[in-house]
Amino acid sequence: MKIFGDDGFRDKVNKGLLSEKFLNNFFSSLNNVLKFKKIKSVTIGYDTRNNKDYILKIIINKIISVKKIIILDKPVSTPGLQFSSKKNFGIMITASHFPSQYNGFKFFLLGKKIEKDFENLIVKNLNKKNLPKNKLSKLSKSNFKNYIDHINHKFNFKLTHKILVDCSNGSIASFYKKINFFKNLKIINAKYISNEINKNCGTNFFIQNIKKKKFKSFQFCLAFDGDADRFLVSEKNYGVIETEKIALIFTKYLQKIKKKQSIVATEIVNPWLVQILKKDKIKVLLSKVGDRNVIKFKNKYNSLFGFETSGHFSFKDSMDGLYGAGLFLEILKKKPYLIYEVLKDKIDYKKKIFGLNLYHLRSFKKFLKKTNKNQIKIIIRKSIWNNYYKIYIFYKSKNTELSKLFLFLNNKIIKKKFKN
Protein backbone atom coordinates (compact mmCIF):
# COMPACT_ATOMS: atom_id res chain seq x y z
CA MET A 1 0.00 0.00 0.00
CA LYS A 2 1.37 3.42 -0.99
CA ILE A 3 1.08 5.90 1.90
CA PHE A 4 2.97 9.12 1.26
CA GLY A 5 2.59 11.33 -1.79
CA ASP A 6 4.35 14.62 -2.51
CA ASP A 7 2.87 16.16 0.61
CA GLY A 8 1.69 13.76 3.35
CA PHE A 9 -1.37 11.66 2.55
CA ARG A 10 -5.16 11.87 2.39
CA ASP A 11 -8.19 9.68 1.81
CA LYS A 12 -11.95 9.56 2.31
CA VAL A 13 -12.90 9.66 5.99
CA ASN A 14 -13.09 6.19 7.59
CA LYS A 15 -11.79 4.59 4.37
CA GLY A 16 -8.38 3.19 3.40
CA LEU A 17 -5.63 5.41 4.82
CA LEU A 18 -8.20 7.18 7.03
CA SER A 19 -9.71 4.02 8.53
CA GLU A 20 -9.39 3.68 12.32
CA LYS A 21 -7.45 0.43 11.88
CA PHE A 22 -4.83 2.01 9.65
CA LEU A 23 -4.57 5.24 11.67
CA ASN A 24 -4.01 3.30 14.91
CA ASN A 25 -1.22 1.39 13.17
CA PHE A 26 0.26 4.51 11.57
CA PHE A 27 0.37 6.66 14.71
CA SER A 28 1.77 3.78 16.77
CA SER A 29 4.58 3.66 14.23
CA LEU A 30 5.03 7.43 14.30
CA ASN A 31 5.17 7.29 18.10
CA ASN A 32 8.05 4.80 17.94
CA VAL A 33 9.91 7.01 15.47
CA LEU A 34 9.40 10.10 17.65
CA LYS A 35 10.84 8.19 20.60
CA PHE A 36 13.80 7.03 18.51
CA LYS A 37 14.40 10.63 17.35
CA LYS A 38 14.08 11.89 20.97
CA ILE A 39 11.36 14.38 20.05
CA LYS A 40 9.76 15.78 23.21
CA SER A 41 6.60 17.55 22.00
CA VAL A 42 4.08 17.65 19.17
CA THR A 43 1.90 20.52 17.90
CA ILE A 44 -1.35 19.64 16.12
CA GLY A 45 -3.34 21.90 13.81
CA TYR A 46 -6.42 21.28 11.66
CA ASP A 47 -8.61 22.92 9.03
CA THR A 48 -12.40 23.44 9.20
CA ARG A 49 -13.60 19.88 8.53
CA ASN A 50 -15.89 18.53 11.25
CA ASN A 51 -14.57 14.96 10.96
CA LYS A 52 -11.30 15.51 12.85
CA ASP A 53 -12.44 14.35 16.33
CA TYR A 54 -11.89 10.60 15.83
CA ILE A 55 -8.50 11.39 14.29
CA LEU A 56 -7.45 13.55 17.27
CA LYS A 57 -8.54 10.81 19.66
CA ILE A 58 -6.36 8.25 17.87
CA ILE A 59 -3.34 10.60 17.83
CA ILE A 60 -3.68 11.35 21.56
CA ASN A 61 -3.98 7.65 22.43
CA LYS A 62 -1.05 6.57 20.25
CA ILE A 63 1.48 9.41 20.52
CA ILE A 64 2.56 8.61 24.09
CA SER A 65 6.35 8.87 23.90
CA VAL A 66 6.44 12.69 23.97
CA LYS A 67 6.09 14.82 27.10
CA LYS A 68 3.50 17.20 25.66
CA ILE A 69 0.92 17.41 22.88
CA ILE A 70 -0.13 20.98 22.00
CA ILE A 71 -3.44 21.34 20.16
CA LEU A 72 -4.10 24.68 18.47
CA ASP A 73 -7.36 26.22 19.63
CA LYS A 74 -8.85 27.16 16.22
CA PRO A 75 -8.59 26.02 12.62
CA VAL A 76 -5.22 27.09 11.23
CA SER A 77 -3.62 27.22 7.80
CA THR A 78 -0.93 24.67 7.02
CA PRO A 79 1.73 27.44 6.93
CA GLY A 80 0.40 28.63 10.32
CA LEU A 81 0.85 25.17 11.85
CA GLN A 82 4.28 24.88 10.23
CA PHE A 83 5.31 28.25 11.71
CA SER A 84 3.98 27.18 15.13
CA SER A 85 5.98 23.94 15.15
CA LYS A 86 9.46 25.37 14.56
CA LYS A 87 10.73 23.88 17.83
CA ASN A 88 9.03 20.49 17.74
CA PHE A 89 7.11 18.04 15.55
CA GLY A 90 4.02 19.30 13.72
CA ILE A 91 0.94 17.41 12.52
CA MET A 92 -1.51 19.22 10.27
CA ILE A 93 -4.88 17.47 9.86
CA THR A 94 -6.09 18.55 6.42
CA ALA A 95 -7.00 17.33 2.97
CA SER A 96 -6.06 20.72 1.50
CA HIS A 97 -8.16 21.49 -1.61
CA PHE A 98 -10.15 18.22 -1.43
CA PRO A 99 -13.86 18.25 -0.43
CA SER A 100 -15.12 17.83 3.14
CA GLN A 101 -15.59 14.05 2.97
CA TYR A 102 -11.80 13.71 2.77
CA ASN A 103 -9.15 14.34 5.38
CA GLY A 104 -5.44 13.73 5.69
CA PHE A 105 -2.11 14.83 7.14
CA LYS A 106 0.98 16.93 6.53
CA PHE A 107 4.00 16.47 8.82
CA PHE A 108 6.76 18.84 9.91
CA LEU A 109 9.95 18.64 11.94
CA LEU A 110 11.41 21.87 13.32
CA GLY A 111 9.28 23.90 10.91
CA LYS A 112 10.19 21.95 7.76
CA LYS A 113 8.46 19.17 5.83
CA ILE A 114 9.70 15.79 6.99
CA GLU A 115 12.20 14.15 4.64
CA LYS A 116 11.79 10.89 2.74
CA ASP A 117 14.00 9.02 5.21
CA PHE A 118 11.66 10.05 8.05
CA GLU A 119 8.66 8.80 6.04
CA ASN A 120 10.50 5.53 5.33
CA LEU A 121 11.15 5.04 9.06
CA ILE A 122 7.43 5.37 9.78
CA VAL A 123 6.59 2.82 7.06
CA LYS A 124 9.28 0.47 8.36
CA ASN A 125 7.78 0.58 11.87
CA LEU A 126 4.21 -0.21 10.77
CA ASN A 127 2.67 -3.25 12.49
CA LYS A 128 5.09 -2.99 15.41
CA LYS A 129 3.70 -2.57 18.91
CA ASN A 130 3.86 0.77 20.69
CA LEU A 131 6.83 1.19 22.98
CA PRO A 132 5.50 0.81 26.54
CA LYS A 133 4.57 3.83 28.65
CA ASN A 134 2.32 4.05 31.67
CA LYS A 135 0.37 7.23 30.85
CA LEU A 136 -0.71 9.51 28.02
CA SER A 137 1.28 12.58 27.05
CA LYS A 138 0.32 15.86 28.72
CA LEU A 139 -2.23 17.84 26.68
CA SER A 140 -2.29 21.62 26.35
CA LYS A 141 -3.95 24.21 24.09
CA SER A 142 -2.31 27.12 22.34
CA ASN A 143 -3.07 29.78 19.75
CA PHE A 144 -1.04 30.67 16.67
CA LYS A 145 -0.67 34.38 17.40
CA ASN A 146 3.03 34.17 16.53
CA TYR A 147 2.15 33.35 12.92
CA ILE A 148 -0.45 36.13 12.68
CA ASP A 149 2.07 38.61 14.14
CA HIS A 150 4.64 37.43 11.59
CA ILE A 151 2.28 38.13 8.67
CA ASN A 152 1.14 41.50 10.06
CA HIS A 153 4.71 42.59 10.71
CA LYS A 154 5.74 41.71 7.15
CA PHE A 155 2.68 43.29 5.50
CA ASN A 156 1.63 46.18 7.72
CA PHE A 157 -0.72 48.15 5.47
CA LYS A 158 -4.38 48.64 4.60
CA LEU A 159 -5.93 49.00 1.16
CA THR A 160 -8.64 51.17 -0.33
CA HIS A 161 -8.92 49.18 -3.57
CA LYS A 162 -12.10 47.28 -4.39
CA ILE A 163 -10.99 43.71 -3.69
CA LEU A 164 -12.87 40.48 -2.93
CA VAL A 165 -11.33 37.60 -0.96
CA ASP A 166 -12.72 34.04 -1.14
CA CYS A 167 -11.69 32.09 1.99
CA SER A 168 -13.01 28.75 0.66
CA ASN A 169 -14.79 28.17 4.02
CA GLY A 170 -11.38 26.90 5.08
CA SER A 171 -8.67 27.56 7.62
CA ILE A 172 -8.20 31.23 6.83
CA ALA A 173 -11.86 31.88 7.67
CA SER A 174 -11.06 31.43 11.37
CA PHE A 175 -8.52 34.26 11.58
CA TYR A 176 -8.88 36.61 8.57
CA LYS A 177 -10.24 39.37 10.86
CA LYS A 178 -6.83 39.53 12.56
CA ILE A 179 -4.92 40.12 9.30
CA ASN A 180 -4.30 43.84 8.75
CA PHE A 181 -4.36 43.89 4.96
CA PHE A 182 -7.77 42.19 4.85
CA LYS A 183 -9.41 45.16 6.55
CA ASN A 184 -11.61 47.15 4.12
CA LEU A 185 -11.76 44.17 1.73
CA LYS A 186 -14.89 42.16 0.90
CA ILE A 187 -14.59 38.72 2.50
CA ILE A 188 -16.79 35.81 1.36
CA ASN A 189 -17.03 32.06 2.05
CA ALA A 190 -15.74 32.49 5.59
CA LYS A 191 -17.89 29.91 7.40
CA TYR A 192 -15.37 27.95 9.41
CA ILE A 193 -17.76 25.79 11.45
CA SER A 194 -20.10 24.67 8.66
CA ASN A 195 -18.06 21.83 7.08
CA GLU A 196 -18.48 23.47 3.67
CA ILE A 197 -14.74 23.65 3.02
CA ASN A 198 -13.93 23.96 -0.72
CA LYS A 199 -17.64 23.55 -1.58
CA ASN A 200 -18.21 25.47 -4.82
CA CYS A 201 -15.67 28.05 -3.69
CA GLY A 202 -11.97 28.82 -3.26
CA THR A 203 -9.23 28.01 -5.76
CA ASN A 204 -11.02 24.89 -7.07
CA PHE A 205 -13.93 26.93 -8.47
CA PHE A 206 -12.23 30.27 -9.03
CA ILE A 207 -12.31 30.22 -12.85
CA GLN A 208 -16.08 29.60 -12.82
CA ASN A 209 -16.89 31.92 -9.92
CA ILE A 210 -15.24 35.09 -11.24
CA LYS A 211 -17.86 35.08 -13.99
CA LYS A 212 -20.60 35.52 -11.38
CA LYS A 213 -22.17 38.90 -10.66
CA LYS A 214 -20.85 39.26 -7.09
CA PHE A 215 -17.26 38.81 -8.34
CA LYS A 216 -17.52 40.99 -11.46
CA SER A 217 -17.87 44.31 -9.61
CA PHE A 218 -14.41 43.99 -7.98
CA GLN A 219 -11.15 45.12 -9.60
CA PHE A 220 -9.24 42.20 -8.10
CA CYS A 221 -10.40 38.91 -6.56
CA LEU A 222 -8.27 36.54 -4.47
CA ALA A 223 -9.02 32.93 -3.59
CA PHE A 224 -7.42 30.45 -1.18
CA ASP A 225 -7.76 26.68 -0.90
CA GLY A 226 -8.92 24.85 2.23
CA ASP A 227 -5.63 24.99 4.15
CA ALA A 228 -4.44 28.28 2.59
CA ASP A 229 -1.09 27.08 1.29
CA ARG A 230 -2.00 28.31 -2.19
CA PHE A 231 -3.75 31.34 -3.66
CA LEU A 232 -5.00 32.62 -7.01
CA VAL A 233 -5.74 36.16 -8.26
CA SER A 234 -7.99 37.59 -10.94
CA GLU A 235 -8.24 41.07 -12.46
CA LYS A 236 -11.59 42.42 -13.61
CA ASN A 237 -10.71 42.90 -17.28
CA TYR A 238 -8.12 40.13 -17.56
CA GLY A 239 -9.56 37.11 -15.74
CA VAL A 240 -7.55 34.66 -13.64
CA ILE A 241 -3.89 35.65 -13.72
CA GLU A 242 -1.63 32.73 -14.63
CA THR A 243 0.76 31.74 -11.84
CA GLU A 244 3.64 32.27 -14.29
CA LYS A 245 2.57 35.92 -14.59
CA ILE A 246 2.27 36.26 -10.80
CA ALA A 247 5.79 34.83 -10.60
CA LEU A 248 7.00 37.41 -13.13
CA ILE A 249 5.36 40.23 -11.13
CA PHE A 250 7.02 38.97 -7.92
CA THR A 251 10.40 38.65 -9.67
CA LYS A 252 10.33 42.19 -11.08
CA TYR A 253 9.40 43.59 -7.67
CA LEU A 254 11.69 41.51 -5.44
CA GLN A 255 14.72 41.45 -7.71
CA LYS A 256 15.13 45.21 -7.34
CA ILE A 257 15.20 44.75 -3.56
CA LYS A 258 17.19 41.54 -3.09
CA LYS A 259 19.35 41.43 -6.24
CA LYS A 260 19.18 37.63 -6.54
CA GLN A 261 19.55 36.08 -9.98
CA SER A 262 17.23 33.06 -9.95
CA ILE A 263 13.80 31.73 -9.08
CA VAL A 264 12.63 28.10 -8.85
CA ALA A 265 9.72 26.57 -10.78
CA THR A 266 8.74 23.01 -11.55
CA GLU A 267 9.42 21.15 -14.79
CA ILE A 268 5.82 21.76 -15.97
CA VAL A 269 6.13 25.57 -15.95
CA ASN A 270 5.24 27.36 -19.17
CA PRO A 271 8.46 27.92 -21.23
CA TRP A 272 7.31 31.53 -21.81
CA LEU A 273 8.43 32.50 -18.30
CA VAL A 274 11.87 30.95 -18.78
CA GLN A 275 12.39 32.88 -22.01
CA ILE A 276 11.11 36.21 -20.62
CA LEU A 277 13.35 36.09 -17.54
CA LYS A 278 16.34 34.95 -19.57
CA LYS A 279 16.27 38.38 -21.27
CA ASP A 280 16.68 39.93 -17.81
CA LYS A 281 19.53 37.52 -16.99
CA ILE A 282 17.43 35.76 -14.33
CA LYS A 283 17.53 31.96 -14.35
CA VAL A 284 14.45 29.80 -13.83
CA LEU A 285 15.75 26.68 -12.10
CA LEU A 286 13.49 23.67 -12.71
CA SER A 287 12.79 21.14 -9.95
CA LYS A 288 10.56 18.09 -9.88
CA VAL A 289 6.91 18.69 -9.01
CA GLY A 290 6.20 18.81 -5.26
CA ASP A 291 6.61 21.66 -2.79
CA ARG A 292 9.34 19.84 -0.88
CA ASN A 293 11.41 19.67 -4.09
CA VAL A 294 10.80 23.34 -4.88
CA ILE A 295 11.78 24.51 -1.38
CA LYS A 296 14.96 22.38 -1.41
CA PHE A 297 16.03 23.90 -4.74
CA LYS A 298 15.19 27.42 -3.58
CA ASN A 299 17.25 27.06 -0.42
CA LYS A 300 20.13 25.30 -2.18
CA TYR A 301 20.56 28.02 -4.81
CA ASN A 302 19.49 30.95 -2.60
CA SER A 303 16.79 31.93 -5.10
CA LEU A 304 14.29 34.77 -4.75
CA PHE A 305 11.38 32.34 -4.30
CA GLY A 306 9.97 29.08 -5.61
CA PHE A 307 6.54 28.28 -6.99
CA GLU A 308 4.28 25.65 -8.50
CA THR A 309 1.74 26.36 -11.22
CA SER A 310 -1.04 25.25 -8.85
CA GLY A 311 -0.68 28.53 -6.92
CA HIS A 312 1.91 27.52 -4.29
CA PHE A 313 4.59 30.14 -3.61
CA SER A 314 7.49 29.69 -1.20
CA PHE A 315 9.62 32.52 0.16
CA LYS A 316 11.13 30.69 3.14
CA ASP A 317 10.50 27.09 4.23
CA SER A 318 6.79 26.86 3.46
CA MET A 319 4.30 27.27 0.66
CA ASP A 320 2.18 30.08 2.08
CA GLY A 321 -0.90 31.38 0.27
CA LEU A 322 -1.44 34.17 2.80
CA TYR A 323 2.17 35.39 2.45
CA GLY A 324 1.87 35.29 -1.34
CA ALA A 325 -1.42 37.21 -1.25
CA GLY A 326 0.15 39.77 1.09
CA LEU A 327 3.05 40.31 -1.30
CA PHE A 328 0.72 40.70 -4.30
CA LEU A 329 -1.37 43.28 -2.44
CA GLU A 330 1.79 45.11 -1.34
CA ILE A 331 2.81 45.43 -4.99
CA LEU A 332 -0.71 46.59 -5.86
CA LYS A 333 -0.41 49.32 -3.22
CA LYS A 334 3.17 50.42 -3.94
CA LYS A 335 3.83 49.66 -7.63
CA PRO A 336 0.58 48.76 -9.39
CA TYR A 337 2.11 49.56 -12.79
CA LEU A 338 4.24 46.38 -12.47
CA ILE A 339 1.08 44.28 -12.39
CA TYR A 340 -0.49 45.95 -15.40
CA GLU A 341 2.75 45.84 -17.41
CA VAL A 342 2.90 42.06 -16.96
CA LEU A 343 -0.79 41.61 -17.75
CA LYS A 344 -0.15 43.24 -21.14
CA ASP A 345 2.44 40.59 -22.01
CA LYS A 346 1.14 37.72 -24.12
CA ILE A 347 2.00 34.15 -23.11
CA ASP A 348 2.91 32.76 -26.51
CA TYR A 349 3.02 29.10 -25.46
CA LYS A 350 -0.31 27.24 -25.21
CA LYS A 351 -0.71 24.12 -23.08
CA LYS A 352 -2.59 20.82 -23.38
CA ILE A 353 -2.59 17.95 -20.88
CA PHE A 354 -3.38 14.31 -21.70
CA GLY A 355 -3.47 11.09 -19.70
CA LEU A 356 -2.07 7.77 -20.94
CA ASN A 357 -1.69 4.35 -19.38
CA LEU A 358 1.68 2.58 -19.53
CA TYR A 359 0.83 0.56 -22.64
CA HIS A 360 -0.14 3.63 -24.65
CA LEU A 361 2.78 5.61 -23.21
CA ARG A 362 5.19 3.18 -24.86
CA SER A 363 3.56 3.63 -28.25
CA PHE A 364 3.49 7.40 -27.69
CA LYS A 365 7.26 7.45 -27.12
CA LYS A 366 7.78 5.53 -30.37
CA PHE A 367 5.51 8.00 -32.17
CA LEU A 368 7.50 10.91 -30.70
CA LYS A 369 10.73 9.68 -32.29
CA LYS A 370 9.19 10.34 -35.70
CA THR A 371 7.85 13.78 -34.72
CA ASN A 372 9.54 17.12 -35.40
CA LYS A 373 9.49 18.73 -31.94
CA ASN A 374 10.61 22.20 -33.01
CA GLN A 375 8.93 24.83 -30.75
CA ILE A 376 7.21 22.06 -28.80
CA LYS A 377 8.00 21.17 -25.18
CA ILE A 378 6.77 17.80 -23.90
CA ILE A 379 6.86 16.69 -20.26
CA ILE A 380 5.88 13.17 -19.19
CA ARG A 381 5.00 12.77 -15.53
CA LYS A 382 3.66 9.73 -13.68
CA SER A 383 0.58 10.34 -11.55
CA ILE A 384 1.41 9.82 -7.85
CA TRP A 385 -1.79 8.00 -6.88
CA ASN A 386 -3.16 6.63 -10.16
CA ASN A 387 -1.78 4.19 -12.69
CA TYR A 388 -1.41 6.58 -15.61
CA TYR A 389 0.94 9.25 -16.95
CA LYS A 390 0.28 12.94 -17.56
CA ILE A 391 1.56 14.30 -20.86
CA TYR A 392 2.10 18.09 -20.83
CA ILE A 393 2.50 19.67 -24.27
CA PHE A 394 3.50 23.32 -24.69
CA TYR A 395 3.39 24.77 -28.20
CA LYS A 396 3.34 28.14 -29.95
CA SER A 397 1.10 27.38 -32.90
CA LYS A 398 -0.54 24.37 -34.48
CA ASN A 399 1.12 22.76 -37.47
CA THR A 400 0.84 19.45 -39.30
CA GLU A 401 3.20 17.67 -36.90
CA LEU A 402 1.31 18.89 -33.85
CA SER A 403 -2.06 17.97 -35.36
CA LYS A 404 -0.79 14.41 -35.91
CA LEU A 405 0.47 14.33 -32.31
CA PHE A 406 -2.89 15.50 -30.90
CA LEU A 407 -4.79 13.05 -33.10
CA PHE A 408 -2.62 10.20 -31.83
CA LEU A 409 -3.14 11.24 -28.19
CA ASN A 410 -6.89 11.75 -28.56
CA ASN A 411 -7.18 8.17 -29.84
CA LYS A 412 -5.24 6.77 -26.87
CA ILE A 413 -6.36 9.15 -24.14
CA ILE A 414 -7.83 7.98 -20.83
CA LYS A 415 -8.61 11.44 -19.40
CA LYS A 416 -9.09 14.70 -21.26
CA LYS A 417 -9.13 17.31 -18.50
CA PHE A 418 -6.54 17.79 -15.81
CA LYS A 419 -5.70 20.45 -13.28
CA ASN A 420 -2.02 21.40 -13.01
Q: Is residue 59 part of a domain?
A: yes
290 and 182 assigned to the same domain: yes
281 and 182 assigned to the same domain: yes
25 and 131 assigned to the same domain: yes
155 and 303 assigned to the same domain: yes
CA distance 351 to 36: 47
171 and 289 assigned to the same domain: yes
Edge-to-edge strand order for the sheet containing 262-266?
A: 283-287, 262-266, 306-307, 313-314
197 and 239 assigned to the same domain: yes
Per-residue pLDDT of the chain in tens (420 residues, 90 and over written 9): 789 988 899 999 999 999 999 999 999 999 999 999 999 999 999 999 999 999 999 999 999 999 999 999 999 999 999 999 999 999 999 999 999 999 999 999 999 999 999 999 999 999 887 666 657 899 999 999 999 999 999 999 999 899 999 999 999 999 999 999 999 999 999 988 778 999 999 999 999 999 999 999 999 999 999 999 999 999 999 999 999 999 999 999 998 888 789 999 999 999 999 999 999 999 999 999 988 999 999 999 999 999 999 999 999 888 999 999 999 999 999 999 999 999 999 999 999 999 999 889 999 999 888 888 788 999 999 887 777 899 999 999 888 888 888 988 888 776 544 444
342 and 358 assigned to the same domain: no
Q: How many domains does the chain have?
A: 3
Strands 313-314 and 138-142: unpaired
Residues near 49 by Cβ (< 8 Å), separated by ≥ 6? 93, 94, 95, 100, 103, 195, 197
CATH code for position 203: 3.40.120.10
Q: Is residue 315 part of a domain?
A: yes
165 and 222 assigned to the same domain: yes
Q: What is the pTM of this model?
A: 0.93
CA distance 348 to 395: 8
202 and 324 assigned to the same domain: yes
User: How does 239-263 read in b/e, with b if 16+ C-beta sit within 10 Å?
Assistant: ebbbbbbbbbbbbbbbbeeeebebb
Q: What dihedral angle (degrees, nearest 10) is formed by the CA atoms of 400, 406, 411, 414?
A: 170
Q: Is residue 417 part of a domain?
A: no
Range of the domain at 130: 9-143
Q: Is residue 1 part of a domain?
A: no
280 and 373 assigned to the same domain: no
The domain boundary, picked from 143, 178, 203, lies at 143
206 and 330 assigned to the same domain: yes
Q: Is residue 261 part of a domain?
A: yes
